[in-house]
């Protein structure tokens, strides 16, 4: 039986964009841009994109396409004995998707909470004390948070049905889950720009501080953001491109994917900072005191702003649908990298591999549904993103 194939090149590109465009485009890029020179940060960002991001993406696309294999077998074909690097990439991605799925589980819960704006009046207190019920440290698990566990089960069921039939089912899913969040970001940009205080928020986002270009930390942040956002070092791009015919133009594929990812990140910043400017205006605070990123932006700052809007439940539902559709493509692409590797190595039927990975990841994610879950999530994120991915990228260049 021949290798599975994408139904068309555009479907592959849409799926690759879906893998690259994830939660970090909403809650990380705008903040990194603001913190590192505002509009001036785009200069080191695009330098990093063209000197590291796109070349590494071409490398991974070319590797998968030429070898017609997932990461482990592809590295083995290049140099015998190096398949461990492919497994390292896959295991790093597997570790990340375990806790990434937990954040999606939070989004499922908040989707339900949006109906009655349950996080009012204090979104921070609701998130940490009522929703997570966080303990005092990682050693105090304190029992399961059942709503999060249910959300986690829904997440893994969604991932299973997205990929169990291979790239043909993935192709159908991404036709909805890639354009939908872009449309929703557009809705939030338009709504955000009409709010009082929006211009002040955008000023913080876009005002260039060219003096920052002399700061090495800014350039490090640019390269880190590019590596983080393009799904490099997970084995995902190798797996996805292995389903392409050998005649497909990987150079153009890489340019289109990376530039689309950068454009969506930049566009999302208008939604984020216009809303943060509105929140600062409503609370009579400086924008600098309201600006946040990551979990704080998604589950504290943004719900606070949504509560102040007309038709707040509608915007709450749309926001968490946005996060879920951003997250699902990245999540199932990380799983697909593992499926491709196992399928190549042991020729187990795909359905069983997908069930096995989803069950194992669900079980692994249970610790993050305890009252110590947030502590363990921070620990896992720190080690896997700071050490796992950078090492894989460096070794890929050596091989």
**pLDDT per residue as tens digits for the range 45-85:** 999 999 999 999 999 999 999 999 999 999 999 988 899 99
Average pLDDT over residues 362-388: 89
> What pLDDT, on a 0 to 100 scale, did the predictor assign at position 389?
64
The answer to whether residues 113 and 119 touch, using CB atoms and an 8 Å cutoff, is: yes
265 band by pLDDT with thresholds 50, 70 and 90: very high
CB 131 within 8 A of CB 321: no
Quick one: tokens of 155? 């997440």
Closest CA to 391 of 88, 4, 69, 30: 88
Tokens, residue 319: 């926001």
Residue with tokens 């749309």: 318
Largest Cα–Cα separation, the chain: 65
Question: What are the angstrom distances between the C-alpha of 330 and each of 64, 134, 352?
Answer: 18, 27, 21
Find residue 144's DSSP bridge partners: 370
Non-local CB neighbours of 253 within 8 Å, separated by 6+ positions:
9, 12, 13, 16, 61, 241, 244
Name the least confident of 126-135, 220-229, 276-285: 220-229
Can you give the C-alpha Rg of the chain in angstroms? 21
At residue 244, the 3 state secondary structure works out as coil
Dihedral (CA of 338, 339, 340, 341) sign: positive
Distance CA 313, CA 318 (A): 9
CA distance 179 to 176: 6
- Report the pLDDT averaged over residues 192-200: 95
- Domain ranges in the chain are 9-398
Pairwise CA distance, residues 240 & 12, whole Å: 8
Nearest to 166 by CA among 62, 242, 90: 242
CATH class of 9-398: mainly alpha
pLDDT at res. 8: 94
Structure tokens at 9: 């090149």
103 and 148 Cβ atoms separated by less than 8 Å: no
Predicted pLDDT at 397:
67
The pLDDT-based confidence of 1 (bands split at 50, 70, 90) is: low
Question: Per this entry, what is the length of the chain?
Answer: 399
The mean per-residue pLDDT over the stretch 216-231 comes to 87
Q: What is the band of 296 on the pLDDT scale with cuts at 50, 70, 90?
A: confident
Is residue 270 over pLDDT 90?
A: yes
Cis peptide before 121 (omega within 30 of 0): yes
Q: What is the mean pLDDT of residues 350-376?
A: 97
- Residue 90 confidence (pLDDT) above 80: yes
Whole-number pLDDT of residue 399: 66
Q: For residue range 17-31, what is the model confidence (pLDDT) as tens digits?
A: 999 999 989 988 888
Per-residue confidence (pLDDT) for residue 100, from 0 to 100: 95
Residue 312 confidence (pLDDT) above 90: yes
Average pLDDT over residues 292-305: 88
Contact 103, 152 (CB under 8 A): no
Distance CA 200, CA 386 (A): 33
Q: Please report the pLDDT score of residue 383 as a whole number.
A: 82
Q: What is the mean pLDDT of residues 140-153?
A: 95
Return the sign of the alpha-carbon dihedral for residues 232, 25, 109, 325: negative
- Return the C-alpha torsion angle 30, 260, 207, 306, nearest 10: -40
The Cα–Cα gap between 17 and 12 comes to 9
Contact partners, residue 110, CB within 8 Å, separation at least 6: 119, 299, 303, 316, 320
Which stretch of 195-199, 209-213, 227-231, 297-301 has the lowest confidence by average pLDDT? 227-231
Residue with tokens 């809650």: 27
């Amino acid at each position: 039986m021949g290798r599975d194939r994408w139904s068309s090149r555009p479907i592959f590109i849409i799926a690759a964009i879906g893998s690259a465009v994830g939660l970090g485009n909403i809650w990380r890029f705008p903040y990194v841009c603001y913190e590192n020179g505002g509009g001036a940060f785009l200069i080191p960002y695009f330098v990093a994109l063209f000197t590291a991001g796109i070349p590494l993406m071409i490398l991974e696309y070319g590797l998968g396409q030429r070898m017609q294999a997932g990461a482990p077998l592809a590295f083995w074909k290049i140099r015998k004995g190096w398949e461990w690097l492919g497994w390292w990439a896959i295991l790093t991605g597997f570790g990340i998707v375990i806790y990434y799925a937990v954040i999606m589980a939070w989004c499922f819960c908040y989707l339900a909470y949006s109906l009655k704006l349950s996080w009012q009046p204090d979104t921070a207190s609701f998130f940490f004390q009522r929703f997570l019920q966080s303990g005092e440290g990682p050693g105090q698990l304190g029992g399961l948070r059942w709503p999060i566990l249910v959300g986690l089960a829904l997440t893994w069921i969604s991932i299973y049905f997205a990929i169990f039939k291979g790239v043909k089912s993935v192709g159908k899913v991404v036709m909805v889950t890639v354009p939908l969040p872009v449309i929703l970001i557009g809705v939030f940009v338009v709504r955000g720009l009409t709010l009082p205080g929006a211009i002040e928020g955008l000023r913080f986002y876009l005002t260039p501080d060219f003096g920052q270009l002399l700061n090495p930390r800014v350039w490090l942040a640019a390269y880190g953001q590019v590596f983080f956002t393009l799904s490099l070092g997970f084995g995902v791009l190798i797996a996805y491109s292995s389903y392409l015919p050998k005649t497909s133009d990987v150079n153009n594929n890489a340019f289109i994917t990376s530039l689309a990812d950068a454009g969506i990140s930049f566009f999302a910043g208008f939604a984020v900072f216009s809303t943060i400017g509105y929140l600062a205006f409503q609370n009579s605070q400086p924008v600098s005191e309201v600006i946040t990123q990551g979990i704080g932006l998604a589950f504290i700052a943004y719900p606070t702003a949504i509560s102040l809007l007309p038709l707040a439940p509608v915007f709450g539902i749309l926001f968490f649908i946005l996060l879920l559709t951003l997250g699902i493509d990245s999540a199932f692409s990380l799983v697909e990298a593992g499926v491709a590797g196992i399928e190549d190595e042991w020729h187990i039927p795909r359905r069983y591999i997908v069930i096995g990975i989803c069950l194992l990841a669900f079980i692994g994610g249970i610790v993050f549904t305890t009252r110590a879950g947030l502590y363990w999530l921070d620990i896992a994120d720190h080690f896997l993103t700071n050490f796992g991915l950078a090492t894989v990228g460096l070794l890929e260049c050596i091989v």
